[in-house]
Structure formats: structure tokens, C-alpha cells
């Protein structure tokens, strides 16, 4: 008989052979929201068991009646009354906005005898595509971003109608073909209709055509210009159609697109940032569609490789602080740290609270960089006292909760009030709010590793709310809640229906979120998290420089005419609109427009504003607004910081005279910024 000691040894040996189960990811307390929409109205039943997108390019399709349009390049698409309509939009430019013409259906596709009261069902979706089914009509639409064709699959023999809000000038088969038809409208557009099986096109009236009972594929495309070569390109690629498209995050500097297709060579359109980053493309330089984001150019291939320039993920400044400035910075740090303990914030807002946390975290890193280590224990105590109640659920008046319906974090305040915490409870601005918390947590984990390990599960729950790569990473959260892998920047609008689609105001706060996530990866030695955060931060920066930063004379070739003349930065960028105003201020508040695209000031800000020439343009444009009545020092600090890139002494003099600072900013941070300017960052 084995001794008891031998049994124990055998048991230990046996248990060592059995892999330990991975612990379930941490979740904040589950709560039922009273304000969120019911996703079962539009999502197919098999999709409801997983977290659902809350900031997607097709979000309007699953909110309210599902009948507001979305911009799926190059078309604006609307679903209503058992039909799908598309328009090839035009754009107008003035001094305050770039606008898309109001939606007017160029073509509407529907089953001739369909039930007009039916609505679509989202049966599949991915980063680059969404599939809409109309069950009562036998129609399925593969909406893939960037394709010049709209693809409809008729899965049972059905008579299909095509109507228009315009007048049909002519409709005919192409050279006797019964699989290609040419439709000319009185708005000077020419549309091509392709079918996978022979059929007849019948004139019903001056605005409606019908395809005799048909099954298989119908594809429609507008001819983008009068050049006959464009129609030949569409003819050549008409038989290959994409079913879906996925984006794959390879590493810290590679993103790939993979399109699932049927047929031969695939034609998809690339926007200007794609063209800047593509590394393996066959480009049809003369085949172009217009868009609000710039010309869309034809790309041949179902696999794209995109390689943004990597960014430095550093805790401290890239070039270092000038030695002769260290004494001044240390004095400012000691005053700012003393103020931490002498003032008590009453805010319960997840946004403003997060900014206070991140502000203190900045002080810790600046102190570390200038060897002012004696203040770090006080900052550590402040950070742990501020952060822990939110992670433990002990904060009075607010806190984090988990919403199972859509799969994400909400707050106690916003669970029943859609306006609380700037709409956090309807998934607005998640990356902004949580990015500040993640930054503070990462810094605290750096200076206190034991604390960091204790709260690591909660930290990952926060970061994965907006930076989850998919079900394999964490099954409780949607994939990349805010980041759009086709546009390559974030959206902030959440579960709110907007006629102009998704929107985002502050690119710099979006950059902060992904940069903070990369720092969290660094502190927890999680190479994958660091790489993902770094990649998305790099993409967000390049998108901001292309679409939010407006250079003089239209140098970036995106904005022309009056808008480019009067604006150096976009206020709110919408899917189909560019606005000079902000959510909280008019277009005249240029100081706020500059500030909201720069805050918070961090080492990564050096990359976001690496172009000194543009920094000068932006500051010179905004400075006159600093004299407006009511403009506070809080906003002026950001303008002076940017001025410090090219006129250090004058900026430093102005910064030293400031009496007040933004919630997430401080004199220490501004002095650190000015005294760490290097000649070039990248």
C-alpha cells in the first residue's frame, strides 16, 4: 500500500500534467439598462448571443426604424419599406461645413410584389461589410465597403423592380445582351445593371423598371465619369463580387484586409489614406469615384496589406527635457502635487474624473523624467485613492457596471439617463472616458507593480471594453468598439441615430485611448496589447492629419474652396459631413477647436503634431480668437503649447503667465512640453 506521502506526491505529479483552466475575465456588476434599444429588432437571432457593435458604420440600420441612411463608400444607402435605396452623393463646400446633398434615391431595389411593411435583418457583419436580408422578398444585399457595385442576391425566383426618384431617360440592354443593361437618368447619371442569369428589363413607367422573374446575382453601379474606359472597367470586374470583408491586425505596424469573394479578380475602391499605406496593390490610377474623404481609386485584389508608420510608445518625452529647465519643472511639480492633497474634486462624471486621474499620472511621469522622485509617493497615494473606488465599486454616486444586452461597460449614472456622463450609457465616447482611466491605471501599475497586479483583472476589463480584438480575446465585449478599420479612425456617437452617420470630435483623446492601452501592454508585459494599441494610435494619428487637420491652400487635397480657406481644423467629423462647430461651442471658438484636437498633452502628441509648419498655420489661425470675451486660460494653454514647437521663448512667456489649466492639464505638463521639444519626431 502506498504511503500517504507517496499519494500526495503522485497527486501533485498528476495535477501538474493537467493544464490549469484560464480564469474567466473579470466583469463589473451586471445591470439592466432602461434606456438601451432592443437589438433583437434588426439583428438575426444567431447574432444575439454575442456582443454587438455600438459604433459601427452601419449603426443607423439597427436603431429606431432602421431607415436612416449610412455612407458605405461610394454610396449613401438607405433601407426602408422592404427596399434598399442608394445614392451617389454630391458635396457642397462653404466656410463653415462640407455637406452631402440630402438623400434622394438614385436607385431603389425591391421585390415587385413585396410586403411594404417589412424591414431588413442584419444576418452577418464584419469590419468591412454588413449583410442585409429581406426575408419576405427573397433578397439579400452584400454591402461591402468600397465596392463600386451594389450586390443583391435573389435566392428564389422573384420579379425585382428598380425605381428612381428621378426620371428615366432611357433603359436598354447593352448590345443585345440580356445580362447587362444601361439606365440613364435625367440627373445625368448612367447606371449599369448586371445579372448573373439572362432576363428581360421591362419599362413599368417613367421612374420604374422591372426584371422578369430572376434568381442569382444582380449588381448595379453608377458610371463615375463620361470616359468610356470607366464603363469597360466596370464590365471587366462585374462578375466578381465580395460577400464580406474582414480586417486583420497583424502586429504593431501591419493591417490587412481580406475579402471573401465569388468569381475572378475583385475590384474595390481605396480612399486617400489607404493609398498612402498600401504596400501590395494593383492600382487603377484613372478609375476614380468622388467621396467626402477624397477621391476613391480602384484597387484590384482581395488581399490588401497596409503599413502605417510605427509610433514610439514611450512613458517620457522622445528627445528628453533640457537640463537647464529641470529646476523650473521641479518647482512646478511640487506646487501641483501639493495642490492634489489640498483640493478635493466633487465631480462624479466618468469623463472629468478620468481626466483628473490622468492629470495626476502625468505629474508622476514628469517627476520621474526630471528626477523629482520625492513627490512620487504622494502621487501614488492620490492615484490609488482615486482609482480604487471605481474598480471596487465603492465610489459614491457613480461606478462601472456591465450591460449584457449589447456587451459593454456602462455607468451607474448613465444606466437610466441617456445624457449622463455624456451619453456613456448609450455607448458614446467610451474610448475618451476609459482612455483617461487606463492611462492613470498604467502609470500607477508602473510605479506600484503590486497594486498593478492586484487590479489587473479590472484594468483589462476596462481596456477590452473598447480594444477587444474579438471573441477569442474576451467574449464579453464587442470587437474594437469605437475604431473603424476601413476609415482607420474612431467614431464616438454610440447608439444614437444621426442623419449624417457616425461622428467624432476629438481625435487627440482617441489617440490617448490607444496610446494608454499600449502603455498598459508595456507595464503588464503584454506584447499583443502593446502592439494593438500602438497600431491603432498610429492609424488614428494619420487619419487625424488627413481628415481633421486642414492645411492652407488645400495642400492635403481633401478640402477645397471656402472650407479650406477659413478653417485649419475640423470641429466634428461626420460620416457624410464636416462641421466647423463643436458640440459645446460655435465655429467662432477657434481656441476650443484647437484645444479639443490637442488635449491631453502627452509624449505621443509629438507625433500627432510633428509638422511644425502646420502647427504654425493652426496657431496663427486660432490666436485672434484668444481675445474673444470669455476665452479662458484653460484653452489658451493648448495654443501656447503648440506655439512652442516653433517659437519656444514667446510660448514659454505666455505659459508662465497662465492662471488656470484644463482639468487634465497643469503648469508642470506645459513646462515639460515646452522644454522637451526636439527638432524632429517623425
| Rounded-to-integer distance, Cα 202 and Cα 23, Å | 63
- Name, in order, each residue with C-beta under 8 angstroms of 448's C-beta and a sequence gap of 6 or more: 380, 384
Task: Check whether the bond before 74 is cis (ω within 30° of 0).
Answer: yes
Q: For this structure, is 104 an active site residue?
A: no
Find, among 577, 579, 500, the residue nearest to 60 by Cα: 500
Q: For this structure, is 231 an active site residue?
A: no
| Rounded-to-integer distance, Cα 129 and Cα 241, Å | 12
Find, among 432, 357, 365, the residue nearest to 387 by Cα: 357
| Rounded-to-integer distance, Cα 353 and Cα 338, Å | 19
Provide the H-helix boundaries in 321-408: 326-342, 350-369, 376-392
Query: Would you tell me the crossing angle of helices 350-369 and 667-674 to the nearest 10 degrees?
Result: 50
Long-range residue pairs from 593-596, CB within 8 A, at least 24 positions apart, any chain: 593/569, 593/622, 594/569, 594/618, 594/619, 594/622, 594/635, 594/638, 594/639, 594/642, 595/634, 595/635, 595/637, 595/638, 595/639, 595/662, 596/505, 596/506, 596/508, 596/509, 596/571
Residue in the structure block whose three cell numbers are 486660432? 622
Q: For this structure, is 127 an active site residue?
A: no
| Rounded-to-integer distance, Cα 600 and Cα 402, Å | 27
**Catalytic residue from among 500, 505, 540, 663:** 505
**Catalytic residue from among 336, 448, 509, 526:** 509
In total, the chain counts a number of residues equal to 682
Q: How many CB atoms lie within 10 A of CB 5?
A: 8
**Contact call for residues 214 and 154 (beta carbons, < 8 A):** yes
| Rounded-to-integer distance, Cα 196 and Cα 153, Å | 10
Residue in the structure block whose three cell numbers are 436598354? 172
- DSSP secondary structure string for all residues of 485-548: TTTTEE----S---TT--EES-HHHHHHHHHHHHHHHHHTT-HHHHHHHHHHHHHHHHHIIIII
**Contact call for residues 81 and 117 (beta carbons, < 8 A):** yes
- Name, in order, each residue with C-beta under 8 angstroms of 177's C-beta and a sequence gap of 6 or more: none
Pull the grid cell for residue 574: 461626420
**Catalytic residue from among 429, 448, 484, 662:** 429
- Name, in order, each residue with C-beta under 8 angstroms of 397's C-beta and a sequence gap of 6 or more: 348, 412, 413
Widest CA span in the chain: 98
Q: What are phi and psi of 294, to 5 degrees?
A: 110, 175
**Contact call for residues 310 and 652 (beta carbons, < 8 A):** no
DSSP 59: G
Is 396 strand, coil or helix? coil
- Name, in order, each residue with C-beta under 8 angstroms of 2's C-beta and a sequence gap of 6 or more: 10
Find, among 335, 331, 334, 329, the residue nearest to 652 by Cα: 329
Find, among 414, 520, 409, 422, the residue nearest to 466 by Cα: 409
| Rounded-to-integer distance, Cα 217 and Cα 209, Å | 17
| Rounded-to-integer distance, Cα 57 and Cα 127, Å | 9
- Name, in order, each residue with C-beta under 8 angstroms of 484's C-beta and a sequence gap of 6 or more: 55, 57, 490, 491, 502
- Active site members: 429, 505, 509
Amino acid at each position: 500500500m502506498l504511503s500517504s506521502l507517496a499519494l500526495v506526491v503522485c497527486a501533485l505529479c498528476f495535477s501538474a500534467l493537467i493544464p490549469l483552466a484560464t480564469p474567466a475575465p473579470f466583469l463589473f456588476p451586471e445591470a439592466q439598462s432602461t434606456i438601451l434599444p432592443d437589438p433583437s429588432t434588426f439583428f438575426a437571432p444567431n447574432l444575439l448571443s454575442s456582443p454587438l457593435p455600438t459604433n459601427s458604420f452601419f449603426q443607423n440600420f439597427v436603431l429606431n426604424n432602421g431607415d436612416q441612411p449610412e455612407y458605405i463608400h461610394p454610396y449613401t444607402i438607405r433601407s426602408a419599406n422592404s427596399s434598399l435605396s442608394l445614392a451617389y452623393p454630391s458635396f457642397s463646400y462653404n466656410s463653415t461645413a462640407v455637406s452631402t446633398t440630402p438623400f434622394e434615391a438614385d436607385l431603389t431595389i425591391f421585390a415587385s410584389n413585396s410586403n411594404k411593411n417589412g424591414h431588413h435583418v442584419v444576418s452577418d457583419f464584419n469590419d468591412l461589410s454588413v449583410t442585409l436580408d429581406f426575408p419576405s422578398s427573397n433578397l439579400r444585399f452584400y454591402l461591402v465597403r468600397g465596392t463600386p457595385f451594389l450586390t443583391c442576391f435573389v435566392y428564389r425566383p422573384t420579379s425585382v423592380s428598380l425605381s428612381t426618384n428621378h426620371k428615366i431617360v432611357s433603359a436598354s440592354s447593352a448590345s443585345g445582351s440580356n445580362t447587362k443593361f444601361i439606365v440613364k437618368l435625367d440627373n445625368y447619371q448612367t447606371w449599369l445593371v448586371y445579372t448573373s442569369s439572362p432576363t428581360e428589363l421591362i419599362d413599368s413607367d417613367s421612374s420604374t423598371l422591372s426584371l422578369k422573374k430572376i434568381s442569382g446575382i444582380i449588381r448595379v453601379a453608377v458610371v463615375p465619369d463620361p470616359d468610356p474606359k470607366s464603363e469597360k472597367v466596370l464590365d471587366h470586374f462585374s462578375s466578381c463580387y465580395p460577400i464580406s470583408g474582414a480586417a486583420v491586425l497583424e502586429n504593431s505596424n501591419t493591417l490587412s484586409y481580406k475579402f471573401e469573394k465569388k468569381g475572378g479578380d475583385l475590384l474595390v475602391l481605396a480612399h486617400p489614406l489607404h493609398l498612402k499605406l498600401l504596400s501590395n496593390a494593383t492600382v487603377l490610377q484613372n478609375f476614380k469615384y468622388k467621396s467626402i474623404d477624397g477621391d476613391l481609386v480602384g484597387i484590384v485584389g482581395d488581399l490588401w496589406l497596409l503599413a502605417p508608420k510605427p509610433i514610439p510608445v514611450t512613458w517620457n518625452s522622445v528627445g528628453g527635457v533640457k537640463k537647464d529647465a529641470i529646476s523650473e519643472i521641479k518647482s512646478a511639480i511640487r506646487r501641483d502635487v501639493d495642490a492634489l492633497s489640498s483640493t478635493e474634486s466633487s465631480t462624479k462624471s466618468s469623463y472629468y474624473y478620468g481626466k483628473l486621474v490622468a492629470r495626476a499620472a502625468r505629474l508622476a511621469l514628469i517627476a520621474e523624467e526630471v528626477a523629482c522622485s520625492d513627490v512620487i509617493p504622494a502621487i501614488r497615494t492620490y492615484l490609488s485613492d482615486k482609482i480604487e473606488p471605481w474598480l471596487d465599486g465603492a465610489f459614491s454616486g457613480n461606478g462601472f457596471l456591465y450591460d449584457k444586452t449589447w456587451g459593454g461597460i456602462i455607468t451607474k449614472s448613465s444606466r437610466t439617463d441617456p445624457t449622463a456622463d455624456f451619453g456613456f450609457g448609450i455607448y458614446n465616447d467610451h474610448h475618451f472616458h476609459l482612455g483617461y482611466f487606463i492611462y492613470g491605471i498604467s502609470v500607477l501599475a508602473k510605479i506600484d507593480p503590486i497594486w498593478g497586479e492586484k487590479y489587473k483583472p479590472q484594468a483589462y476589463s476596462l481596456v477590452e471594453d473598447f480594444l477587444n480584438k474579438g471573441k477569442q480575446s474576451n467574449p464579453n465585449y464587442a470587437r474594437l468598439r469605437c475604431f473603424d478599420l476601413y476609415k482607420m479612425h474612431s467614431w464616438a456617437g454610440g447608439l444614437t441615430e444621426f442623419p449624417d452617420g457616425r461622428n467624432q470630435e476629438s481625435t487627440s483623446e482617441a489617440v490617448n485611448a490607444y496610446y494608454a492601452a499600449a502603455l498598459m501592454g508595456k507595464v503588464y508585459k503584454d506584447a499583443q496589447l502593446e502592439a494593438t494599441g500602438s497600431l491603432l494610435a498610429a492609424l488614428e494619428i494619420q487619419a487625424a492629419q488627413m481628415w481633421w487637420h486642414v492645411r492652407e491652400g488645400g495642400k492635403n487635397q481633401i478640402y477645397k474652396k471656402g472650407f479650406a480657406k477659413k478653417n485649419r481644423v475640423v470641429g466634428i467629423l461626420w460620416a457624410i459631413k464636416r462641421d466647423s462647430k463643436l458640440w459645446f461651442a460655435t465655429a467662432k471658438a477657434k481656441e476650443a477647436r484647437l484645444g479639443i484636437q490637442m488635449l491631453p498633452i502627452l509624449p505621443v502628441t509629438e507625433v500627432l503634431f510633428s509638422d511644425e509648419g502646420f502647427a504654425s498655420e493652426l496657431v496663427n489661425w486660432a490666436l485672434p480668437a484668444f481675445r474673444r470675451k470669455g476665452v479662458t486660460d484653460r484653452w489658451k494653454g493648448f495654443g501656447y503649447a503648440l506655439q512652442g514647437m516653433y517659437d519656444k521663448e514667446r510660448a514659454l512667456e505666455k505659459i508662465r503667465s497662465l492662471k488656470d489649466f484644463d482639468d487634465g492639464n497643469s503648469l508642470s505638463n506645459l513646462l515639460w512640453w515646452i522644454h522637451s521639444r526636439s527638432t524632429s519626431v517623425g
